[in-house]
Amino acid sequence: SQQGEEDPQALSIQEGENATMNCSYKTSINNLQWYRQNSGRGLVHLILIRSNEREKHSGRLRVTLDTSKKSSSLLITASRAADTASYFCATDAAGNTGKLIFGQGTTLQVKP
């Protein structure tokens, strides 16, 4: 079953602009992770934020987590055409199952 929703479902921006994607989830979590998937390919892990963290940075990526609202956002700054891909949030639910439950994903298109 899906953990939650992401919005927007699709996003189209110009190169150099920032892209923001949001993710909501339903249960308590150990951590939340963001992944990128290029068309028809596997997933690439971008960043992991623990439940006791509120913000994390990695290069041009900035992730926030609000556990009171059960939501997270991914900001990609100074976007590039190569950032065109689908982006998924995934939650590692509290407990020790280790299962990842994915959001619906946001398809990002960055126009050169």
Partner 1 sequence: GAVVSQHPSWVICKSGTSVKIECRSLDFQATTMFWYRQFPKQSLMLMATSNEGSKATYEQGVEKDKFLINHASLTLSTLTVTSAHPEDSSFYICSAMQRARVYGYTFGSGTRLTVV
The binding site for partner 1 (CB under 8 A) comprises 1-2, 30-31, 33, 35, 40-45, 48, 50, 88, 92, 97-105, 107
56 vs 30: CA distance, rounded Å: 15
State in angstroms the smallest separation of the CB of 26 from partner 1: 15
Burial 13-29 (b: 16+ CB within 10 A, else e): beeeeebbbbbbbeeeb
Min dist CB 2 to partner 1, Å, is 6
**Closest to partner 1 by CB, 83 or 92:** 92
Q: Coil, strand or helix: which one is 82?
A: helix
Tell me whether residue 18 or residue 55 sits nearer to partner 1 (CB atom): 55
